[in-house]
Amino acid sequence: MDFGAGFAPLSQGEANMALERTFSIIKPDATRRNLTGKINAKFEEAGLRIVAQKRIHMTKSQAGKFYDVHAERPFYDELCEFMSSAPVVVQVLEGEGAIAKNREVMGATNPADAAPGTIRAEFAESVGENSVHGSDAPETAAVEIAYFFSGIELVG
């Protein structure tokens, strides 16, 4: 196939090398306050593309499996109760360095420590009800995406 002068299809993989996907949840405190659009605007303004998204209402046991890594923490039961208390929006965000970029846009876990302009600084109600979840590493991103989405739902 002739792609025309200057078009080098094989270089596309290289150009996309730093393109990453991360998993995000807009949590019950935020969906309750109708903040889905405002939070999505923050992602998009930061250059993150929402390549998959759906609104679901988790059971406590589904939330428990998702947060399994925190099972021994004192706030685990409260966390699972909260995450299953109302609908959430689960999403896959794509962009250059998406995992770190999303953590930056989210802000610190405790909104009192979150930098001005971050989602948690602007919207979070407390350390427990802090509006968003974001994957913390490539391995967790892959596992978390696969927990909620099938390949055919990822439409980058």
Residues annotated in the binding site, as ranges? 27, 75, 103, 109, 120, 130
Q: By beta-carbon distance, which residue lies closest to ligand DAT?
A: 109
* Tokens read off for 63: 């939330």
Report the site for ligand DAT in 8-67 (rule: CB under 6 A): none
**Of 50, 51, 127, 143, the one binding ligand DAT by CB under 6 A:** 127
Question: Residue 70 catalytic?
Answer: no
- Residue pair 31/88 in contact by the 8 Å Cβ criterion: yes
**Paired strand residues for 49:** 94
Q: Are 136 and 99 in contact (CB under 8 A)?
A: yes
Q: Which of 21, 40, 133, 141 binds ligand DAT (CB under 6 A)?
A: 133
71-110: contacts with ligand DAT (CB under 6 A): 75, 79, 109
Q: Examine residue 130 and tell whether it contacts ligand DAT (CB under 6 A).
A: yes
Residue with tokens 């962009």: 95
Give CA torsion, residues 91, 115, 125, 119, to 10 deg.
Answer: -30
What positions carry a catalytic annotation?
Answer: 133
